[in-house]
């Protein structure tokens, strides 16, 4: 073979080897990178933080412990020497007793929303009742013009709450009845504490017009009497405004 042909063959072999080395290395690098991509675990997606769900809370009366109202006794409210003069039951109360199946020989309470009056029947006619079987107390009930109401109801007077706060005011002699849009109680007129003194609100509403948030309000004096009379467990009827 001529020397020129031999030299051409040698150069061709060297060129092929060089190309193989260069491209082989690049090929191996590519394969290794591809393998690392497939061998690496897929990153976990960070979950979106959960948002707190808004809840609606109902404002309920809070019993105030720092100014407990002492329970009065019947002896401190009326003279023990009052003569007992029982009265016959009025005709309208007789009809209410029949309608609700109450026992006329036992105590009961009727709240007349239409006339803003509480009527208390006590056949014993003891000293606390001034010797009478019927006692009437002016009240103020739920103001429907402001969106409040004292709904018709029949049940038993519940637990004694004493002094409590609600809607930015205080009230004494609270007696629980039932729950409607909120807790319905019988209690004394609401008040605010000004320089340590009780300033009562809506006193002119008692016996005249509805002014409460649904509760049955009494004057402070009548509320103390009511507590001393001991109403817990006594049947109570709230009459509908319209017959």
How large is the average pLDDT for residues 134-153?
96
Gap between the Cα atoms of 4 and 16, Å rounded = 19
* Residue 85 pLDDT: 58
3-class SS at 166?
strand
As a whole number of Å, the end-to-end CA separation of the chain is: 134
Strand-strand pairing, 160-166 and 62-63: antiparallel
> Does residue 20 surpass a pLDDT of 90?
no
Q: For the segment 87-99, what is each residue's pLDDT rounded down to a tens digit?
A: 789 999 999 999 9
Q: How far apart are CA 14 and CA 133, in angstroms?
A: 130
Buried/exposed 221-230: b ≥16 CB within 10 Å, e otherwise = ebbbbbbbbe
Residue 95 has φ and ψ, to the nearest 5°, of -65, -40
Q: Which CA distances in Å does 79 have to 70, 126, 139, 225?
A: 20, 11, 25, 13
Q: Which of 172, 154, 155 is nearest to 163 (CA)?
A: 172
How many Å apart are CA 15 and CA 67, to the nearest integer?
106
pLDDT at 61: 72
- Per-residue pLDDT tens over the stretch 46-103: 454 444 444 333 446 777 754 444 544 444 444 444 455 567 899 999 999 999 999 9
Look at residue 7 and tell me whether its pLDDT is greater than 90: no
Displacement of CA 207 from its chain's centroid (Å): 28
CATH code of the domain occupying 62-239: 2.40.440.10
> pLDDT tens-digit profile of 147-199?
999 999 999 999 999 999 998 999 999 999 999 989 999 999 999 999 999 99
Mean pLDDT, rounded, for 104-132: 96
- pTM of this prediction? 0.69
Q: What is the pLDDT of residue 64?
A: 76
What is the structure's pLDDT at 14? 52
The pair of three-digit structure tokens given for residue 106, joined into one six-digit string: 């036992």
Contact at 8 Å (CB) between 113 and 150?
A: yes
- If you search the block for the tokens 């109570």, which residue do you land on? 236
Tokens 């690098």 belong to: 29
**Domain boundary assignment for the chain:** 62-239
Q: Cβ–Cβ contacts within 10 Å for residue 112, how many?
A: 18
d(CA 201, CA 217): 11
């Amino acid at each position: 073979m001529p020397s020129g042909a031999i030299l051409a063959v040698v150069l061709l072999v060297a060129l092929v080897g060089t190309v193989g080395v260069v491209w082989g290395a690049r090929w191996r690098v590519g394969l290794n990178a591809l393998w690392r991509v497939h061998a690496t675990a897929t990153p976990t997606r960070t979950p979106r933080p959960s948002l707190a769900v808004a809840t609606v809370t109902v404002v309920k009366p809070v019993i105030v412990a720092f100014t407990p109202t002492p329970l009065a006794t019947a002896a401190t409210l009326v003279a023990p020497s009052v003569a007992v003069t029982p009265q016959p039951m009025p005709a309208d109360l007789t009809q209410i007793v029949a309608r609700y199946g109450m026992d006329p020989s036992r105590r009961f309470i009727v709240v007349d929303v239409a006339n803003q009056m509480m009527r208390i029947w006590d056949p014993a006619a003891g000293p606390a009742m001034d010797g009478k079987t019927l006692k009437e107390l002016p009240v103020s009930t739920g103001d429907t013009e402001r969106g409040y109401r004292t709904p018709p109801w029949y049940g038993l007077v519940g637990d004694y709450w004493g002094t409590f706060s609600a809607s930015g005011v205080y009230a004494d002699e609270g007696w629980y009845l039932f729950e409607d849009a909120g807790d319905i109680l019988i209690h004394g007129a609401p008040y605010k504490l000004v320089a340590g003194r009780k300033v009562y609100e809506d006193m002119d509403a008692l016996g005249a017009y509805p002014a409460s948030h649904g509760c049955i309000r009494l004057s402070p004096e009548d509320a103390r009497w009511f507590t001393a009379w001991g109403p817990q467990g006594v049947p109570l009827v709230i009459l509908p405004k319209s017959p």
